[in-house]
Every structure is written in structure tokens, then in C-alpha cells.
Amino acid sequence: MFVGALEFDLLLGDVRSLKQKRSVVRPLVAELHKRFEVAVAEAGHLDLHRRALLGVAAVAADGEHVRDVLDECERFVAGRPEVELLSAHRRLLGPED
């Protein structure tokens, strides 16, 4: 079994309140979950209205599949016009870890 985790640090566009932040982050979280069948959560910068930290996790029997899914998630987020991807950090755990 392989477990992959991906952490996105995002800068949100023209957002002036936490309510507006929710209107950007919630659809992004939902689309990642629906499109890639991964677990997704807002995991940080909860009190900042122009920043978001999203965590994505995937589990599979094959490490290459986990890497491919996380790559697709990263490309998807990087291509979203309403957010700027500041950084992405990845971890992969396998049977030997």
C-alpha cells in the first residue's frame, strides 16, 4: 500500500473576506475530490482571507499510480485562474516506511 500527501499553499485572487474565501476554496476542494477521487481538506491559513493551505491525500496499491494522481491534482490547481499556487509539497509513504 502506498499513501501520497500533497500540500498546496495558495494565494487567492480578489478576496476581501473569509466569506469570499469560502466561495473560492469550497468549489476547489469539491472539484478535486470529485475529479480525482482523493481526500481533500483546508488545513491551514484558516484566519487569513487571501491565503489557503489545502491538503490532498491518495491511497493505492501502486506508488506510480499515487504519483500520477498527485501530479494531476497539482496541474489542476496550478491551472486555476482564481488562485496562485505558491508552493506544493509532496510526501509518499510505501510498504518499507
pLDDT of 4 > 90? The answer is yes
pLDDT tens sequence across 54-67: 999 999 999 999 99
User: Where residue 83 falls among pLDDT bands split at 50, 70, 90?
Assistant: very high
d(CA 13, CA 41): 20
Q: What is the CATH number of domain 2-93?
A: 3.30.70.1120
Query: Where do the domains of the chain lie?
Result: 2-93
pLDDT tens sequence across 27-51: 999 999 999 999 999 999 889 999 9
Provide DSSP, 17-76: SHHHHHHHHHHHHHHHHHHH--EEEEEE-TT-SSEEEEEEEEEES-HHHHHHHHHHHHHH
What is the pTM for the complete model shown? 0.91
Contact between 58 and 66 under an 8 Å Cβ cutoff? The reply is yes
